[in-house]
Structure 1
């Protein structure tokens, strides 16, 4: 068995370690992200002045938005580093930064203790977390794509999103246990710190694993050929802008679907459809568990039939099924909520199982991490964190409860256009001509397509 380059044997223990190294960072990131969201009202109480409870809660979400806003800057920093000094080093820096900032949040004094310094320090910690998050996806996706065997690359990269879903689920479980064992006063008095502090040992374990792995065969080949790029950002925008746009369309579909299904749907089902909070939370859990099961399956399936067929099916399903699924969900029948939520969860799993490997195969090795990081983080900053606000505003302005379905149709169309413009990349060599010919890299890149056309 080979790993992208002939002659490089794959050790199964090494493969398991690489999958763990690539996915543990997104697990920690999404675990911390979900903890912050679930404890938003508590954080508002302890970190912001309480003359106006609504203003305090809005401040918490503003801090939440800031962490999204700085992600493109993190993508620039860590994407460039990854293409210049290697995937291994950036993976280690990212998880160390993320864990350190999470530790700071868990240990921060409250507003009652240090006044305005409390929210200032909270913002600073969230900025560091946002910068690290901007580099996590690109680093991990490039690493997993380059470390996975060519014939199983889709399956290998799919564990990235398995980690994100698992982090999301673990956070909800921890918060559920916390709120079951402690009352609101005990949580405000300090129990809220426990979930954040739990994430720190996980990050330390991830850092240890990432420092013990070798860098990817592709990046080591670039170093051997003395063809490591000096300005990967310029190279992406000058030579690979088409691939950047294709991935952006794909990521818009992924981000919006993810946040509608796993974040906004809870609020929608409670506030618009009248579901009780427990039912809405249970349905979200069901969708997440379905994703955990189906994401690796979809990744493996893409290794057999290709990336494009599955992504086309997912985009068409969003376009065709979004309205029927939301109509069923709001029909008032006892089983309707399960069918509607599970249907959307299956579509999301199709996207999550394939989007990362398809995106990784678009770019040549020289600029893979930069391209992945930029497209993912810019679209996340614009489309991901804005989903709840945009949909709440649209429903209020139009009076139409079906606006989430229409929004999914729109991003399904965007995703479909992006996928149809892409060539099939299943089984390609991740080293393109620009990667293996040192003296020709700047010139031939404008004449040839990157890795995606090498199939």
Structure 2
């Protein structure tokens, strides 16, 4: 998400400055590009993960993502190499998306298959809190760089630091992942010769209803993440009129509220059950979104902190339950492929297009709260998905002989 926190600087450095609105829309469009290749990444990494194991793919995905992020920080600008600058930016963003397509399903599957069944909510919450807390850390780095260097220096070269810090962090993560052991559930599948030879074909043939249901369910999760992490900073700058530094302060506080609540909500998942928390999380987004955008427009900084802080907490609840739901919804023999497909199809459509579509809607209609109704509409789709979904309140395990999901009592 370093791209989101450097969006204004990327707009100035990689796109012609003749039209600021066009440059911003182009920047948001490039943000969406990696999402388009995610279904392909899900197919490639998912099929490999279900056939050869989880741990090796986790090494590949982290290396690919960290490498591409570092290279973006080293790219020459439009002023240096012209049109090749945005072309290279798009190519690296596509490779990032390809890698992340395997990262989500792989990491969530690996962690779930190592966790006690009665504590999976807490374990998933702790895993997601690592992701959730990385956002305010990145926002804080952007804030520190902006305040230390000033807007001119930050937009000129300081933005690169946000990307370059991924190099040492990626090396540490790569070292840790190389030491991982294979998941016990996959080892059992392999021992019983129950791995699938064609996980993509089997997933589509045997899990099609669950794939549709989970894909719909994830709409609220995808739009909530994209709104909070990517679009809200743009909205606060372009619609509410906050300066860059104030915007970054608001982002740090809002994202910190989300990250800190995720593990607490993980405990709630273990206590209340999956279906109940799914409904609460989805309805919370739908109810809070109109309030959040209205408060931001009418009362400025204070309203933005309260409204988007509440929206971030609601999204924290989605962070705690959505990945767990996604991987538990499918049998172990097809889990990496099926979970990756459901997640990445939703993210490709909803996550990739949301910033661009919502920015265009606001510019076209002049309605400052139009983004809220977009969140509401997608939350309704999620509720349809929850209704269609096979209940995962008792975590699914795999029937080794048939590869089908069996609900445990």
Could you list the per-position Cα deviations for residues 78-106 of structure 1 after superposition, in whole angstroms to 9, with x for gaps in the alignment?
A: 11111111110110010111122223223
Match of 1:289 in 2: 256
What is the CA-CA distance between 1:348 and the residue it aligns to? Answer: 1.0
Instruction: Classify 1:325/1:39 alpha carbon distance in 2 versus 1 (closer, same or farther; 3 Å).
Output: closer
372, 375, 389: which one aligns with 1:408: 375
Mapped to 2, the partners of 1:371 and 1:189 lie a distance apart of 43
What is the CA-CA distance between 1:305 and the residue it aligns to? Answer: 1.5
Mapped to 2, the partners of 1:369 and 1:107 lie a distance apart of 33
> Aligned pair count?
409
Query: How do 1:115-154 and structure 2 match up within 5 A?
Result: 115-154=82-121
Mapped to 2, the partners of 1:66 and 1:43 lie a distance apart of 15
Match of 2:140 in 1: 173
Query: How do 1:19-58 and structure 2 match up within 5 A?
Result: 33=1, 35-48=2-15, 57-58=24-25
3-state SS, counterpart of residue 363 of structure 1: coil
Q: Is the 8 A contact 2:296 2:307 kept in 1?
A: yes
Give TM-score scaled by structure 2 length.
0.90
Match of 1:156 in 2: 123
Mapped to 2, the partners of 1:123 and 1:268 lie a distance apart of 23
Match of 1:431 in 2: 397
What is the CA-CA distance between 1:182 and the residue it aligns to? Answer: 2.2
Q: Is the 8 A contact 1:218 1:431 kept in 2?
A: no
What is the CA-CA distance between 1:333 and the residue it aligns to? Answer: 8.2
Mapped to 2, the partners of 1:454 and 1:241 lie a distance apart of 21
Q: Is the 8 A contact 1:295 1:353 kept in 2?
A: yes
Q: Which has the larger radius of gyration?
A: 1
31, 37, 44: which one aligns with 1:77: 44
Could you list the per-position Cα deviations for residues 398-429 of structure 1 after superposition, in whole angstroms to 9, with x for gaps in the alignment?
A: 4433322222221222222222333443453x
What root-mean-square deviation, in Å, do the aligned CA atoms of Structure 1 and Structure 2 show?
Answer: 2.5
Q: Is the 8 A contact 1:151 1:427 kept in 2?
A: no
Match of 1:194 in 2: 161
Task: Identify unmatched segments of 5+ residues in structure 1.
Answer: 1-32
Match of 1:258 in 2: 225
What is the CA-CA distance between 1:154 and the residue it aligns to? Answer: 1.0
Q: Is the 8 A contact 1:256 1:387 kept in 2?
A: yes
Instruction: Classify 1:389/1:242 alpha carbon distance in 2 versus 1 (closer, same or farther; 3 Å).
Output: same
Instruction: Classify 1:345/1:189 alpha carbon distance in 2 versus 1 (closer, same or farther; 3 Å).
Output: closer
3-state SS, counterpart of residue 431 of structure 1: strand
Mapped to 2, the partners of 1:260 and 1:48 lie a distance apart of 23
Name which of structure 1's ranges 227-236 and 63-72 shifts more when overlaid on structure 2.
63-72
Instruction: Classify 1:394/1:242 alpha carbon distance in 2 versus 1 (closer, same or farther; 3 Å).
Output: same
148, 166, 172: which one aligns with 1:205: 172
What is the CA-CA distance between 1:392 and the residue it aligns to? Answer: 2.8
Mapped to 2, the partners of 1:321 and 1:103 lie a distance apart of 36
3-state SS, counterpart of residue 214 of structure 1: coil
Q: Is the 8 A contact 1:302 1:426 kept in 2?
A: no
218, 225, 234: which one aligns with 2:185: 218
Mapped to 2, the partners of 1:156 and 1:359 lie a distance apart of 15
Query: How do 1:321-400 and structure 2 match up within 5 A?
Result: 321-332=288-299, 335-400=302-367
Instruction: Classify 1:410/1:55 alpha carbon distance in 2 versus 1 (closer, same or farther; 3 Å).
Output: closer
288, 304, 309: which one aligns with 2:271: 304
Instruction: Classify 1:289/1:334 alpha carbon distance in 2 versus 1 (closer, same or farther; 3 Å).
Output: closer
Q: Is the 8 A contact 2:38 2:101 kept in 1?
A: yes
Instruction: Classify 1:269/1:55 alpha carbon distance in 2 versus 1 (closer, same or farther; 3 Å).
Output: closer
Mapped to 2, the partners of 1:116 and 1:380 lie a distance apart of 28
Instruction: Classify 1:299/1:249 alpha carbon distance in 2 versus 1 (closer, same or farther; 3 Å).
Output: same
Q: Is the 8 A contact 1:358 1:425 kept in 2?
A: yes
What is the CA-CA distance between 1:212 and the residue it aligns to? Answer: 0.3
Instruction: Classify 1:112/1:342 alpha carbon distance in 2 versus 1 (closer, same or farther; 3 Å).
Output: closer
Name which of structure 1's ranges 278-287 and 337-346 shifts more when overlaid on structure 2.
278-287
Could you list the per-position Cα deviations for residues 119-148 of structure 1 after superposition, in whole angstroms to 9, with x for gaps in the alignment?
A: 433332222111101111111111111111
Q: Is the 8 A contact 2:203 2:334 kept in 1?
A: yes
Mapped to 2, the partners of 1:343 and 1:401 lie a distance apart of 19
What is the CA-CA distance between 1:189 and the residue it aligns to? Answer: 5.8
Instruction: Classify 1:192/1:345 alpha carbon distance in 2 versus 1 (closer, same or farther; 3 Å).
Output: closer
